Structure 1
Amino acid sequence: MTGTTEIETIEHGGALSRACSRYGGVPGEWLDLSTGINPNPVPLPAISAGAWARLPDEDLLSSAADTAGIRYGAADGISPLPVAGTQSVIQRLPDIFSGKVAVIGPTYEEYRVRFERAGRSVDLVPGMDALSDDYGLVVLVNPNNPDGRTYSPGDVRTLARDLSGRGAFLLVDEAFGDLQPQISVASQAGDVENLVVLRSFGKFYGLAGLRLGFVLASPAVRSVLENLLGTWPVSGPALEIARHVLADDDLHRQTIASIGERSRSLNGILYEAGLAIAGNTALFSLVEDPRAAKLHDHLCRHRILTRKFSYMPHWLRFGLCANGDDDERLRVALRAFVDS
Structure 2
Amino acid sequence: MGRDLQLRAATTEDLAWIHELRHRVYAEELGQHAPDPTGRLRDGLDGDNVYLVVACGAARVGFVSLTPPWTGRYGLDKYLTRDELPLLTEGDVFEVRILTVEPRWRATAAAPLLMYAALRWIAARGGRRVVAMGRTELLGMYLSAGLRPSGRAVRSGALTFEVLTGGVAELTRVTTDRHRTLVERLRSVVDWRLDVPFAPGPDGCEHGGASFTAIGADFRTLHRRHEVVAADVLDAWFPPAPGVRAALAEDPVWMARTSPPTGAEGLSAEIAVARGLPAGTLAVGAGSSDLIFRAFGRWLTPRSRVLLMDPGYGEYAHVTERVVGCRVDRFRLRREDGWRIDPARLSAVVGSGRYDLVVVVNPNNPTGRHAPAAELRSLIAAAPARTRWWIDEAYLGYVDPAESLAGLAATDPRVVVCTSLSKMYALSGVRAAYLVAVPDTAAEVRRWTPPWAVGLPAQLAAVAALRDPAHYGACWLRTHELRRRLARELAESSRTVVVEESVANFLSVTLPPGGPSAARLVDACRRHGVYLRDLSPLSPEYQGRTVRIAVRDTAENARIVAAFRASLELLLSPRSASRAPVPEGVPAVGSGR
- TM class by shorter chain equals 0.7 to 0.9
| Aligned match of 1:228 | 448
Distance in 2, matches of 1:93 and 1:200, equals 15
Deviations 1:266-315 (A, max 9, x none): 22222222332234133110112243333222211111100002233111
Distance in 2, matches of 1:338 and 1:232, equals 48
| Aligned match of 2:246 | 45
Distance in 1, matches of 2:325 and 2:568, equals 46
What are the equivalent positions in structure 2 for 1:90-129 lying under 5 Å apart?
A: 90-98=292-300, 99-117=304-322, 118-126=324-332, 127=341, 128-129=346-347
In the comparison of the two structures, how many residue pairs are matched? 333
Partner AA of 1:158 in structure 2: S
Instruction: Point out which structure has higher relative CO (alpha carbons under 8 A, 6+ apart).
Output: 1
Deviations 1:122-157 (A, max 9, x none): 111125243331101111100000011221111211
Whether the 8 Å contact between 1:75 and 1:191 is mirrored in structure 2 is: no
| Aligned match of 2:359 | 139
| Aligned match of 2:502 | 280
Distance in 2, matches of 1:201 and 1:253, equals 14
Distance in 2, matches of 1:172 and 1:189, equals 9
- Structure 2 counterpart SS, 1:210: coil
Deviations 1:46-102 (A, max 9, x none): 2565654543337x933322322343x344465432210010112223323243111
- Is 1:33 matched up with 2:231? yes
Distance in 1, matches of 2:493 and 2:432, equals 36
Structure 2, gaps ≥5 residues long? 1-175, 181-199, 217-222, 333-340, 571-593
RMSD: 2.8
Which shows bigger deviation, 132-141 or 121-130? Answer: 121-130
| Aligned match of 2:396 | 177
Whether the 8 Å contact between 2:268 and 2:279 is mirrored in structure 1 is: no
| Aligned match of 2:259 | 55
Partner AA of 2:440 in structure 1: A
| Aligned match of 2:562 | 332
- Structure 1 counterpart SS, 2:375: helix
Partner AA of 1:293 in structure 2: A
Deviations 1:25-50 (A, max 9, x none): 94442111101121122141325656
Whether the 8 Å contact between 1:74 and 1:189 is mirrored in structure 2 is: no
- Structure 2 counterpart SS, 1:333: helix
Partner AA of 2:533 in structure 1: R
Higher radius of gyration, 1 or 2: 2
- Structure 2 counterpart SS, 1:178: helix
Distance in 1, matches of 2:226 and 2:272, equals 37
- Is 1:83 matched up with 2:314? no
Whether the 8 Å contact between 1:74 and 1:186 is mirrored in structure 2 is: no
Which shows bigger deviation, 240-249 or 74-83? Answer: 74-83
Provide the TM-score with structure 1 as the length reference.
Answer: 0.87
Partner AA of 1:329 in structure 2: R
Whether the 8 Å contact between 1:96 and 1:224 is mirrored in structure 2 is: no
Distance in 1, matches of 2:319 and 2:466, equals 30
Q: 1:328 to 1:112 in 2, by over 3 A?
A: closer
- Is 1:305 matched up with 2:531? yes
Distance in 1, matches of 2:486 and 2:501, equals 13
Distance in 1, matches of 2:264 and 2:363, equals 28
Partner AA of 1:286 in structure 2: S
Once the two structures are TM-superposed, the CA of residue 255 in structure 1 deviates from its matched residue by 2.0
Partner AA of 1:175 in structure 2: A
Whether the 8 Å contact between 1:56 and 1:236 is mirrored in structure 2 is: yes
Distance in 1, matches of 2:568 and 2:258, equals 56
- Structure 2 counterpart SS, 1:327: helix
Distance in 2, matches of 1:269 and 1:70, equals 41
| Aligned match of 1:252 | 472
Whether the 8 Å contact between 1:205 and 1:255 is mirrored in structure 2 is: no
Q: 1:63 to 1:154 in 2, by over 3 A?
A: same
Whether the 8 Å contact between 2:422 and 2:431 is mirrored in structure 1 is: yes
Distance in 2, matches of 1:155 and 1:250, equals 29
Whether the 8 Å contact between 1:78 and 1:190 is mirrored in structure 2 is: no
Q: 1:337 to 1:16 in 2, by over 3 A?
A: closer
Partner AA of 2:519 in structure 1: A
Whether the 8 Å contact between 1:45 and 1:245 is mirrored in structure 2 is: no
Distance in 1, matches of 2:562 and 2:482, equals 17
Distance in 1, matches of 2:321 and 2:466, equals 35
Distance in 1, matches of 2:520 and 2:439, equals 49
Once the two structures are TM-superposed, the CA of residue 8 in structure 1 deviates from its matched residue by 3.5
Once the two structures are TM-superposed, the CA of residue 12 in structure 1 deviates from its matched residue by 4.1
Whether the 8 Å contact between 1:197 and 1:217 is mirrored in structure 2 is: yes
Once the two structures are TM-superposed, the CA of residue 246 in structure 1 deviates from its matched residue by 0.6
Distance in 2, matches of 1:54 and 1:229, equals 20
Structure 1, gaps ≥5 residues long? none
Partner AA of 2:231 in structure 1: L
- Percent sequence identity over aligned pairs: 25
